[in-house]
């Protein structure tokens, strides 16, 4: 079946540091790929997505590119802020019944 693997956390950074959170997927087809963010005490919300190979999703300074050749969708941000502290989930999904597969989440802690 489909699977999504993302790097374990926590990832601890200083403000203005560069962020990368790795995500790779395994699927029989070419799923849409997502990054969701979960702030403390809240539900998940969509951060960005890409629906086909070479698409780049971007939002709030975060970017991720759908790499078919490496089956990856790594999340990056050039300069993180304290307010980016949250848990980030990579997910993939396709098909009519649409049951997405989620990674286990990566906690990001940004210090001033």
Nearest CB to another protein, comparing residues 52 and 68? 52
Supply the minimum distance, in Å, between the C-beta of residue 73 and another protein.
14
Residue 46 Cβ vs another protein, minimum distance, rounded to whole Å: 5
Contacting positions for another protein (CB under 8 A): 32, 34, 36, 42-46, 49, 51, 89, 93-94, 97-100, 102-105
Residue 77 CB partners (closer than 8 Å, separation 6+): 18, 19, 61, 62, 63, 84
- CB nearer another protein, residue 11 or residue 44: 44
- Read off the tokens for 72: 């990856």
CA distance 82 to 34: 23
Rounded CA-CA distance 79/59 in Å is 13
- Rounded least distance, CB 56 to another protein, Å: 17
């Amino acid at each position: 079946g489909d699977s999504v693997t993302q790097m374990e956390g926590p990832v601890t950074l200083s403000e203005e540091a560069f962020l990368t959170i790795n995500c790779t997927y395994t699927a029989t087809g070419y799923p849409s790929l997502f990054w969701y963010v979960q702030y403390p005490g809240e539900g998940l919300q969509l951060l960005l997505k890409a629906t086909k190979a070479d698409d780049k999703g971007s939002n709030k300074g975060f970017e991720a590119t759908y790499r078919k050749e490496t089956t990856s969708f790594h999340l990056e941000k050039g300069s993180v802020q304290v307010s980016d502290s949250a848990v980030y989930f990579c997910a993939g999904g396709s098909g009519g019944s649409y049951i997405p597969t989620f990674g286990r989440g990566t906690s990001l802690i940004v210090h001033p």
